């Protein structure tokens, strides 16, 4: 059975460009409930830990530097079929390939600076949510 939570971050590029409000509006309009949320900045060690699955990739250093370069908004979102529906809402990883009406089509600038993160599986949604939020921070 599909889980009903996913994890997202509004990334440093979108925060810097003042897109927090626009992105949250799209998330709410698509029917996601905000279960947990914080405005924070990742340290390099945080970003290395969060993206550990990508540590052998050539872009890992760039990814860690970018994700720790400024504040982010981290959130747990709740909805039926949350992981798949949220990935549909954010669009392709590369904004050049993202469909009209998706968050990345509207707000992302490049493959590396792609405005938002969305978990790719129920298992990773749980791991990523636990990385950022205690149970007492979820409502």
- Active-site positions? 117
The rounded distance, in Å, linking the Cα atoms of 93 and 87 is 9
Q: For tokens 């747990």, what's the residue? A: 76
Q: Is 112 in the site for ligand CMP (CB under 6 A)?
A: yes
93 is a contact residue toward ligand CMP (CB under 6 A) = yes
Asked if 104 is part of the footprint of ligand CMP (rule: CB under 6 A), the reply reads no
> Per rule CB under 6 A, is residue 88 in the interface with ligand CMP?
no
Contact status: 111 vs ligand CMP (CB under 6 A): yes
Site map (CB under 6 A) of ligand CMP, residues 50-79, x = contact: ----x----x--xx----------------
Element (H, E) at 13: helix 12-16
Of 30 and 111, which CB lies nearer to ligand CMP in the complex structure? 111
| CA distances (Å), origin 117, targets 1, 8, 124 | 23, 5, 12
Helix/strand/coil (H, E, C) string of 45-60? HHHHHHCHHHCCCCCH
Q: Is 37 or 91 the residue whose CB approaches ligand CMP more closely? A: 91
The residue from 12, 82, 114, 133 that contacts ligand CMP (CB under 6 A) is: 114
Total chain residues near ligand CMP (CB under 6 A): 9
Q: Does 127 bind ligand CMP (CB under 6 A)?
A: no
**DSSP state letters, 59-98:** THHHHHHHHTSS-EEEEEEE-TTHHHHHHHHH--SSGGGP
Query: What is the rounded CA–CA span in Å between residue 125 and residue 107?
Result: 23
The binding site for ligand CMP (CB under 6 A) comprises: 54, 59, 62-63, 93, 111-112, 114, 117
């Amino acid at each position: 059975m599909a889980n009903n939570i996913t994890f997202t971050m509004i990334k440093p590029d979108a925060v810097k460009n003042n897109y927090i409000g626009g992105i949250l509006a799209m998330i709410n309009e698509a029917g996601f409930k905000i279960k947990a949320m914080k405005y924070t900045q990742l340290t390099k060690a945080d970003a290395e830990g969060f993206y550990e699955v990508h540590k052998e990739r050539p872009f890992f250093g760039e990814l860690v530097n970018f994700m720790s370069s400024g504040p982010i908004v981290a959130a747990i979102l709740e909805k039926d079929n949350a992981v798949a529906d949220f990935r549909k809402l954010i669009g392709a990883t590369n904004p050049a390939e993202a469909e009209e009406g998706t968050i990345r089509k509207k707000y992302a600038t490049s493959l590396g600076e792609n405005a938002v993160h969305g978990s790719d599986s129920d298992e990773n949604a749980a791991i990523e949510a636990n990385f950022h939020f205690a149970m007492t921070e979820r409502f």
